[in-house]
Structure 1
Amino acid sequence: MLKLPKKKNKQKRNGSPIPNAPMTQEKSHPSQKLPSQNEVVSSKASAPILFKIPSGVPRFLKCLLTTVKYVEPSFMIKITMDFEIFGHENDLYISQEDIVHVGVMEEIGASCVLLYIRILYFQLVKREISHFFRFVEPIWLSNVGSTEEERVEWVSKRMLDSNPGQMWLLPYHKGKHWMLIIIDFDHQLCYFLDSLHSFPPDEIKSLISRVFQHLRTNNAKTKEVAWRTVKCPRQPLQSVQCGFYVMRMMKDFVTNEFSIRWLTSNCGGKNYYTKDEINEVREEWAQCVMDLMSTT
């Protein structure tokens, strides 16, 4: 039986650079423990990444890009992810490549999304509403290197202690594309948000259905899960902004005073995100990285 790591009394919230770089790619998960996308060691970047700082980049992001432009390929920032964020404490690693991809609006990996979840979590803590929202790690939904049985057990264990009124946010990555699932646990409703306006893939519907079946066998008060496809903001054609759209949708959901109404009204009827709205999450991300770097 898989077991979650025990909660540690002392929480760490600072980051420090380390010489060895883990990748943002996924690897096979050991069956003896829960997976983390940050346990992998990088085989990338044997030379510095060459890039040009785009015009119109927000202030903190421009400063961050300037800072890492000439760092060693092994440059890495180690960040402790507190127990409460995902139900276990682990380390997150942000590389030069992650920073560049956020800065030049290229496809972003799981580490970038995880860091933004950390940002949202501490914003919710500050507002004293973190108990209303919980997050599931994207890799726990991935079929890379794990069986469906393992994924069902990992997600079930994470959701087993759901409290009344809690909403679950599950960023989902498939085929180089980011999507978002929001689960209203009380009503067993899964909302699917995809910036390309597709429908929920059968494999994720099967996984979530089995998670709720698993919870029912553990005496959780659940019923058959229902799905609702949300007409969310649509990303520009020929773009790779799906990761940024998922981060922005998570922000809009957890900061909205009427979050359920925001969902049921198709994200307030918003058709797309403006450049400023996407830049806002990129700037928050960059400011967090700069703050972490300054404490080391």
Structure 2
Amino acid sequence: MVDAKMVGRFAFVNPTLVSKFGMGEASKESRSKVIANRLMNANHADFIFIPYNPGYHWVLVALETRTMIAYYLDSLQNQPSDDLKEIVNMALRIHPPQKHKSSKREPTWVVVGFHGKKSYSKDELNEVRSKWVMLVTQLILSSV
């Protein structure tokens, strides 16, 4: 059974309406209004989740409304794009969260790190390529 209080603590923004490449050539103002409207309609939420596609993969902003901390999660470990920061900051100026008590209008951005394997070396890639070529060669020779 789902706890109604728990569900109300979280709100999500439609990623196609805020991503830079989601709505074609939508302006920063129109995309920030989508976030501002979500802030207004989810005024009791502790976290607003903003999935965003800067053009090549998905990232996530988890905005903690009480502390005004924007946790930025990116598996490629990039910094938040200027476009993303601008639309989130603009949205918070339009409609600051009701839970936030101070006059601070822009969040503190925190990049959340991932501690997995960063990338493969050329030697590791070459090893996989060699094994793949050997396997494909064996399959071809065995089917003739």
- TM-score band, normalised by shorter chain: 0.5 to 0.7
1:231 maps onto 2:126 in alignment: no
TM-score, normalising length from structure 2? Answer: 0.67
Q: Equivalent residues in 2 for 1:128-139 (5 A)?
A: 128=4, 129-139=6-16
Q: Against the structure 1 CA distance between its residues 131 and 235, is the aligned structure 2 distance closer, same or farther, given a 3 Å change threshold?
A: farther
Gaps of 5+ in 1: 1-124, 239-296
Percent of pairs with identical residues:
25
Q: Against the structure 1 CA distance between its residues 134 and 173, is the aligned structure 2 distance closer, same or farther, given a 3 Å change threshold?
A: same
- Which structure has the bigger radius of gyration? 2
Q: Which of 1 and 2 has higher RCO (CA within 8 Å, sep 6+)?
A: 2
Match of 1:259 in 2: none
The correspondence for 1:196, drawn from 76, 79, 82, is 76
Match of 1:126 in 2: 2
1:156 maps onto 2:32 in alignment: no
Indicate if the aligned counterparts of 2:11 and 2:48 stay in contact, CA closer than 8 A: yes
Indicate if the aligned counterparts of 1:197 and 1:234 stay in contact, CA closer than 8 A: no
**C-alpha distance in structure 1 between counterparts of 2:2 and 2:94, whole Å:** 34
Match of 2:64 in 1: 184
Question: Post-superposition shift, 1:199?
Answer: 1.0
The letter for the 2-side match of 1:131 is G
**C-alpha distance in structure 2 between counterparts of 1:165 and 1:154, whole Å:** 16
Partner of 1:160: helix, strand, or coil? helix
Question: Post-superposition shift, 1:213?
Answer: 0.7
What root-mean-square deviation, in Å, do the aligned CA atoms of Structure 1 and Structure 2 show? 2.4
Indicate if the aligned counterparts of 2:49 and 2:60 stay in contact, CA closer than 8 A: yes
**C-alpha distance in structure 2 between counterparts of 1:137 and 1:165, whole Å:** 16
TM-score, normalising length from structure 1? Answer: 0.34
Q: Against the structure 1 CA distance between its residues 163 and 235, is the aligned structure 2 distance closer, same or farther, given a 3 Å change threshold?
A: farther
Q: Deviations over 1:32-84 (max 9, x none)?
A: xxxxxxxxxxxxxxxxxxxxxxxxxxxxxxxxxxxxxxxxxxxxxxxxxxxxx
Q: Against the structure 1 CA distance between its residues 151 and 183, is the aligned structure 2 distance closer, same or farther, given a 3 Å change threshold?
A: same
